[in-house]
């Protein structure tokens, strides 16, 4: 894995060499009083990938860090499919920033 400007993580922690906590997004949603959950965002991505794209099911599941297949399949699958996951996430970004962005809610910082 090649190290980028902020390290190895897309979402680095304030602590050097560590990723952002898995609860960071959930806590942000709670602080701003959002009725939505992090799981709901993940579910929306999975529904979109399955219903609106031709990306394989396994790729979407891999992007969500879900375990795929039985032990034998897992033993033989050694690739991280990074280039293909990048295509999937680019498509998700285009979808999220495109027509669907009309329904995006702006979060206001609590007083």
- Res. 100 pLDDT band, cuts 50 70 90: low
pLDDT higher than 70, residue 101: no
pTM passes above 0.95: no
pLDDT of residue 35: 92
CB neighbourhood size of 88 (10 A): 19
Residue 83 to residues 17, 78, 80, 104: CA-CA distances in angstroms?
A: 24, 14, 9, 28
Plot region of 81 (φ>0 → left; ψ -120 to 50 → alpha; else → beta) = left
pLDDT higher than 70, residue 74: yes
Residue pLDDT, tens place only, 19-39: 888 899 899 999 999 999 999
Residue pLDDT, tens place only, 1-18: 555 555 677 788 888 888
């Amino acid at each position: 894995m090649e190290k980028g400007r902020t390290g190895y993580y897309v979402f680095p922690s304030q602590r050097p060499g560590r990723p952002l906590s898995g609860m960071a997004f959930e806590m942000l949603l709670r602080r701003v009083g959002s009725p939505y959950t992090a799981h709901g965002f993940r579910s929306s991505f999975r529904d979109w990938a399955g219903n609106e794209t031709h990306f394989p099911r396994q790729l979407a599941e891999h992007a969500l860090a879900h375990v795929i297949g039985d032990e034998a399949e897992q033993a033989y699958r050694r690739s991280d499919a990074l280039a293909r996951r990048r295509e999937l996430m680019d498509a998700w970004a285009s979808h999220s920033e495109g027509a669907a962005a009309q329904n995006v809610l702006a979060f206001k910082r609590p007083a």
